[in-house]
Amino acid sequence: MRIIRLLLSLLLTGALLGGIGFFVGREILLATAVAQVQDIANEMVKATSRQQYWQECVSFAAANSNLSEVKSVELAFTSDTEYQLQVICPQFTFEPVVVDFYTLPQYVTKKPGSGGLVAGEKTISLVTLGIWGRERSIFIQNQKVASGFGPLQETSSVSPATSCSGYGYSCCQSASQSGEGDSNTQVIDCPKSCFSQCLARPVVLSFNTQPFFDSNRKVTLKAGETLTLSYVINPGSSAIKEIVLDFGDGQETTSTMLTNTVTHVYRCAQALCQYQVSLTATDVVGVSNAASSVNGVQLMITQP
């Protein structure tokens, strides 16, 4: 029994020391990252440093040596761990001069929502760093740099113009993905499709007819003839809730089958009737396939 108690005591002591080591290590890494960013931010807001950055603009625009000040100095993230110190020159607003590159300490990441820090702005500019459930924010306000624990409200924060990944978001591919959650239209690479999450949407892999459609996806039939339609669908990231095949004449059929073949007879009381057949697949979370020419066929129905 004494040996068992000793072993249990050693295990508890080891677990306690390991837990203490975890928390201490986490605090050290986070404090190191915050200090690194704060030091750079403090240099950004110093008046003496502005002269240095002004020289960067002069060197960049050698033809113009009459610059009186830079437009802004920014600490812009290019990913959740990498960032750069850059200068925005008055005559080259969309082409920043990169002064230096940096990387956060291992395991520390920038939290999504902000693209970095901007010096010289009247409004607040902030960024939040995190590691293993612990977060700390660095912000610039009224030309002063400070920090605080936990995430801060970022709705009124000014951020550098950077990429979607620099904000911690992803560029969603419209043909195969649906953007979900927060969006950002201020990014430089994909302003219409930058979201905090991209969900794989259903994709129509093939949608064929018999008789086969021409190069413009048009099929000509006589009234009373049968059209055969077949399709193959990739469900995306979720199960399919419903597949709707709209025949264009007021009738439709629904299914949950990822591959299917159906037939339909078209009527026409005029010399020529035109119908648009469409295929729509929706998954259980409400995401549908993207609108595409592959998802439809145009029918021309003539008299026998």
Q: Which residue has the higher pLDDT, 293 or 2?
A: 293
Cβ atoms 118, 150 nearer than 8 A: no
- pLDDT reading at 136 higher than 70: yes
CA nearest 184: which of 199, 203, 165, 200?
A: 165
- pLDDT reading at 12 higher than 70: no
Residue 156 is predicted with a pLDDT of 65
Residue 194 is predicted with a pLDDT of 97
Helix (H, G, I), strand (E, B) or coil at 286: coil
Cβ atoms 284, 238 nearer than 8 A: yes
Q: What is the pLDDT of residues 81-130, one digit of tens each?
A: 999 999 887 766 677 888 899 999 999 999 998 999 998 656 788 999 99
Cβ atoms 158, 143 nearer than 8 A: no
- pLDDT reading at 37 higher than 90: yes
Give me the helices (H) in 46-83, please. Answer: 47-60
Domains and CATH numbers, the chain: 19-161 (no CATH), 169-200 (no CATH), 202-302 (2.60.40.10)
Q: Which sign does the torsion angle of CA 148, 149, 154, 159 carry?
A: positive
Token pair belonging to 188: 């430089």
Mean pLDDT, the chain, rounded, equals 87
